């Protein structure tokens, strides 16, 4: 789950027409061309500008000497990647209904309210994943705490597994509270029917590296990207990329969404194998919702 260092976390302006940013990050390799979009989803008129360089941080990748097994040794700021006890992702198995008394104090099993809206998209190709930055808005409420969606992004294959099995992709929606606590909604993506909700993003995956592109005619309905059934697994974990910071509340949807084989291929043509291996659960509990989860009215 990218969040700091090499990932741009610009806060867009608020309001119904506020912009979000579509970020495509590779693993330091050469830029690759995107398969042509369908005629029905042709790219709109766009404007481009040089990308703002990310803050300097040690290079890290998903393979080789700078891969996940060595992240903790790349920088003192990455120490949690190797020393942390509550790391993500994990294999989800033997979930317990409800919440234990210990976890209830940090992540209450209260109703999860998700309220997302349509926004205009910007795109940039510069590193490890496809990330979409979101404007300032209270879009997630859990346990009485309101969180703002800051960005969402994708991994292929999935980072979390269920009973040891990967899904073709996983989407992470990263939320931050007013006191800087993080809550991430994870959504598994299976191969299946074509998903029209993803067309605005998938038709405009940026192929040119290092150039930010504004798409004034592209809007993305975030709520439509989520599964209709919103029950979840919950546990306490970390970022899944350096610096692997802990204290992240994870909400992983039990029901996957679907993308067609062509949609999955459009992503993996650009980005693949950008998943951190599952981490040891240690003493943590994996919980399932004890109460209903509902989407708020848009």
Is residue 13 situated within a structural domain?
A: no
153 is catalytic: no
Is residue 277 situated within a structural domain?
A: yes
Which CATH number characterizes residue 84's domain? Answer: 3.10.200.10
- Higher pLDDT: 60 or 116? It is 60
Is residue 12 situated within a structural domain?
A: no
Give the count of domains, the chain: 1
CB neighbourhood size of 260 (10 A): 15
Is residue 189 situated within a structural domain?
A: yes
- Note the pLDDT of residue 4: 36
Is residue 60 situated within a structural domain?
A: yes
DSSP 8-state code for residue 180: S
pLDDT in tens, 38-59: 333 444 444 454 444 445 678 8
Is residue 8 situated within a structural domain?
A: no
Altogether, the residues listed in the chain come to a count of: 298
The active-site residue out of 61, 116, 119, 128 is 128
pLDDT in tens, 226-246: 898 888 899 999 999 999 999
pLDDT in tens, 64-107: 999 999 999 999 999 999 999 999 999 998 777 754 323 232 33
- Higher pLDDT: 203 or 196? It is 196
d(C-alpha 168, C-alpha 264), whole Å: 8
Q: How far is CA 92 from the centre of its chain?
A: 18
| Average pLDDT of the residues of the chain | 73
- Note the pLDDT of residue 112: 58
Domain range enclosing 267 = 19-295
Mean per-residue pLDDT for 134-143?
72
Output the CA torsion sign for 214, 215, 216, 222.
negative
pLDDT over threshold 70, residue 207 = no
Lowest mean pLDDT, pick from 28-42, 80-94, 196-210: 28-42
Report H helices in the chain. Answer: 71-74, 80-83, 101-104, 199-202, 261-268
Is residue 191 situated within a structural domain?
A: yes
Is residue 11 situated within a structural domain?
A: no
Is the distance from CB of 254 to CB of 229 less than 8 angstroms?
yes
């Amino acid at each position: 789950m990218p969040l700091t260092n090499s990932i741009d976390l610009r806060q867009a302006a608020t309001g119904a027409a506020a912009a979000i940013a579509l970020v495509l990050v590779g693993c330091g390799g050469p830029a690759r061309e995107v398969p042509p979009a369908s005629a029905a989803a042709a790219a709109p008129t766009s404007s481009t500008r040089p990308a703002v360089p990310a803050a300097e941080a040690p290079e890290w990748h998903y393979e080789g000497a700078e891969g996940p097994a060595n992240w903790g040794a790349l920088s003192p700021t990455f120490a949690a990647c190797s020393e942390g006890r509550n790391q993500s992702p994990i294999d989800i198995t033997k979930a317990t209904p409800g919440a234990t008394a210990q976890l209830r104090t940090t992540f209450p099993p209260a109703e999860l309210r998700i309220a997302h809206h349509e926004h205009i998209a910007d795109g940039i190709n510069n590193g490890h994943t496809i990330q979409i930055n979101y404007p300032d808005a209270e879009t997630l409420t859990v346990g009485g705490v309101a969180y703002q969606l800051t960005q969402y992004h994708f991994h292929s294959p999935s980072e979390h597994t269920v009973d040891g099995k990967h899904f073709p992709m996983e989407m992470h929606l990263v939320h931050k509270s007013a006191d800087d606590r993080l809550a991430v909604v994870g959504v598994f993506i299976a191969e299946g029917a074509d998903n029209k909700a993803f067309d605005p993003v998938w038709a405009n995956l940026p192929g040119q590296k290092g150039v930010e592109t504004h798409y004034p005619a592209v809007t993305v309905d975030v709520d439509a990207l989520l599964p209709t059934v919103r029950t979840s697994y919950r546990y306490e974990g970390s970022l899944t990329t350096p610096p692997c910071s802990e204290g992240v509340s994870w909400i992983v949807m039990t029901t996957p969404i679907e993308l067609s084989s062509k949609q999955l291929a459009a992503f993996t043509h650009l980005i693949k194998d950008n998943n951190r291996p599952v981490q040891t659960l240690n003493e943590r509990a994996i919980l399932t919702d004890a109460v209903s989860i509902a989407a708020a009215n848009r």
